[in-house]
Amino acid sequence: MRRGLAAVLALIAVLAANGVAAAASPSRTLEIPRADGTSIQVALFDRGAGPADRLLLVVTGSDCRKAVAQRWIDQTVAAAGPRWVAVVDKDGASADGTCGAGYEAHATEEARWYDHLAAMRRLKHELGLRPSGAFQVMALSAGGLTGCALAAASDDVGALALLSTGGGMIFADELRLLSKGDADMAANIERMSRDPRMGQTWMGGTNPQIWWWSVLGKRCLPLLRGTTIPVLIVHGDKDTSVPVESARTLREGLAGAGPAVTYMEMPTEHDLGLKNLPADQNGVARALAWLGPR
C-alpha cells in the first residue's frame, strides 16, 4: 500500500479536519446510560429560535472530534431550521480528534446505531418533540450508515441529508475503487473481514480495527429502499475519500424505490467546500437550506 494513499484513506469521512468552534457551545450535555455502566454523551444546542417540536440531529464522520470542536458546528447552529441541534459524541472524544479510552468498546457500526436511537428517544421525551418526524438527520461522511439506519428504523426521522457519504456501494468496494486495485489494500480488506484485531487501528488512523470490520460489507442502499422520507445526497466530484460513484449508485438505486431523492453534485473535494467556499455556498449550507424548518 502506498503511504500517500494510506494517509488519505485513513482520514476517510473527516469533513472538519481542523479548527475549533469558538462561538457555539452546547446549552448542556445529556448523559444516557448503557448496559455496561458507561454513558452516551449528547451535546445539545439551543438556538433560541425555530420550531421547538423538532430537532436537527447531526451524525459525525469517522474521527473522534468533540461536537464543539467541529468546524461546521457554528454554521450549523446558526442556520438550522429547528430550535434544537444535537450531536452524539463518541467515547473518548477530544478537541484534536484523537479517540480516547473507551471508544473501542463501543466502536462497531451497530453500537453507534444504538447510541443514536437511545439519544433520539431521550431527546424526544425531554424536549417534548412532535410524535413523528421530529428529527431532521444530517449525516457527514462515514456517519452516513448511521443516518440511513436511523431513517430505516424509526418513524421519528422526517428528513435525511447525506453529505459526502457515498452509500450506493459497500464500504469495501469504495476502498477498492479509491485504491485502484492496490494489492496491499485488497489483502487488508480480506484480512480485516475475518480477523479484526482489538487494540489496533488500520492504516494509521484513529479508528480501531473493530470499526473497519463492522462497516466493510455495509451500504445505505438497502436501508433506504422502502422508506418514504425525503432524502438529500450531496457529494463532491473531486472527493478522494469517498468515491462519487458510490453516491451516484445510491441515487440510481433509490429511483422509484420510495424516498423522494434530491441529488447535488458539487465541484469540490470531500469537505464540500467547507474550507474555500463562502459559508452560504458550501455543502453544509446547501443541506441546511434544503432541510429548512420542515
Task: Using the predicted structure, report yes or no on whether residue 57 has a pLDDT greater than 90.
Answer: yes
Out of 8-17, 135-144, 197-206, 267-276, least confident range: 8-17
Cα 237 from Cα 267, distance rounded (Å) = 5
Cα 274 from Cα 283, distance rounded (Å) = 7
Cα 76 from Cα 287, distance rounded (Å) = 10
Percent of the chain at pLDDT > 90 equals: 72
Which pLDDT tens digit goes with each residue over 182-221? Answer: 999 999 899 989 999 888 888 766 788 999 999 999 999 9
Q: Note whether 66 and 96 are within 8 A (CB).
A: no
All three cell numbers of 98? 484523537
pLDDT at 246: 98
Residue that the C-alpha cell 482489538 belongs to? 198
